[in-house]
Amino acid sequence: MPLTYLKQAPGQAPQAEADVADTVQVMLGRLRAGGAQVALEYARDLDGWTGEITVNPERIARAEAQVPVDLRDDIRWAHDNISRFAAAQRATARDMEVELRPGLIAGQRQIPLSAAGCYVPGGRYAHIASALMSIATAREAGVADITACSPPRGDAGIPAPMLYAMHLAGATRILCMGGVQGVAAMAFGLFGAPPADILVGPGNAFVAEAKRQLFGPIGIDMFAGPTDSLVLADDTANPDTVATDLVGQAEHGATSPVWLASTSRPLAEAVLARIPALIAELPAPNRDAAATAWRELGEVALCDTREEMARHADARAPEHLHVQATDLPWWRDRLSAYGSLFLGSGTTVAFGDKAAGPNHVLPTSGAARYTGGLSVHKFLKTVTWQQVTPQGLPDLARVSARISREEGMEGHARSADIRLDSATPMADIAANSKG
């Protein structure tokens, strides 16, 4: 049956404007041609920063001393969870070898990338957790060289807690530079960094567009849009908890949609009634962002059954999917399209955003239909190899030659034929195969 909406968004979240793409294209062109000098000009003109770009060890040490002991302990606690989860993921990515037929051997290797660029957003919030999520994950994957960059905040540069987190997580070097110029510095190998093999980490529309335009020769984690969250709740959920969770995610920004689907009309109506007061209690900048996101993009839908809720969630493919309902194993096994799944009322997306362990860099705008979030696997190349011995050669060569000729690829066929007809003694082939 069609969903019944108690609140429906007037329209969709706005898409990136064409002038963002044009601006980024011009900037990247200048940065590619002019290198570090152009990057310095953008840092001066856009961020007002004329200080050193590469953060030296003395500044990092001062930053650590400036961070209160309790906060340092909290950052280390979160870092330990994130690193341990990434290490457990890394253990699942293994080399393997299989003999497909007698004498035909194939396998795969997991090779870490050589260099990664991790963008740590600044701006309105000090994104301590984002530093841990990207840098620590790259480090656990085995990436040898990790450049991290973040925009300066005033004359002090990168805030001390963020610097501490970036260093703790394992950055090889830290650049005090944000925006398109920061992304380009990592991509093109400026300020002493090697050119990045992959660029990861969230950012504003200009950062996301820069990553999109650079993608191809350089890998990226994903095409990221505004964060989004969906709560699924039945009549056992607490309306205050559900409303608080929705408001908490809406404060990300005015373009960040939050949604509720429920089988309980009383719960849904209670959540609707509570949200305005909760938004009003937020500090001013957060309040304005959450109010706009809820007014323009928030939705509350009624479903007849839990299966209908699950189908709705799979169709939405949200970045964050939070289940506050009974029979959590059913939901865990049934749901199939989300960036990260949060099970039970004791869990909250905020835990995943900050300290729980699984990565918070996740697919948005429905991309969870085909991809997961940032993980050690993004920093690994799964490459394959193959080898044939004299025992496996005859059948493989004959089959390959016949298929090649059927396709009209005579050169391929002859590459197979020569291995059957060559004067090279089979003993030589056998000796080479053992080497």
Beta bridge partners, 107, equal 97, 385
Determine whether 319 is an active site residue: yes
| Tokens (6 digits) for 197 | 């093999």
Asked if 236 and 325 count as a contact pair (C-beta separation under 8 A), the reply is: yes
Catalytic residue from among 319, 322, 360, 406: 319
Burial readout 376-406 (b: 16 or more C-beta within 10 A, e: otherwise): bbbbbeeeeeeebbeebbeebbeebbeebee
Active site residue 79: no
Residues linked to residue 387 through DSSP beta bridges, in sequence order: 105
Of 304, 373, 276, nearest in space to 4 by CA:
304
Three-state DSSP string of the chain? CCCEEEECCCCCCCCCCHHHHHHHHHHHHHHHHHHHHHHHHHHHHHHCCCCCCECCHHHHHHHHHHCCHHHHHHHHHHHHHHHHHHHHHHHHCCCEEEEEECCEEEEEEEEECCEEEEECCCCCCCCHHHHHHHHHHHHHHCCCEEEEEECCCHHHCCCHHHHHHHHHHCCCEEEECCHHHHHHHHHHCCCCCCCCCEEECCCCHHHHHHHHHHECCEEECCCCCCCCEEEEECCCCCHHHHHHHHHHHHCCCCCCCEEEEECCHHHHHHHHHHHHHHHHCCCHHHHHHHHHHHHHHCEEEECCCHHHHHHHHHHHCCCEEEEECCCHHHHHHHCCCCCEEEECCCCCHHHHHHCCCCCCCCCCCCHHHCCCCCCHHHHEEEEEEEEECCCCHHHHHHHHHHHHHHHCCHHHHHHHHHHHHCCCCHHHHHHHHHC
Catalytic site residue from 320, 406, 407, 412: 320
Residues noted as catalytic? 319-320
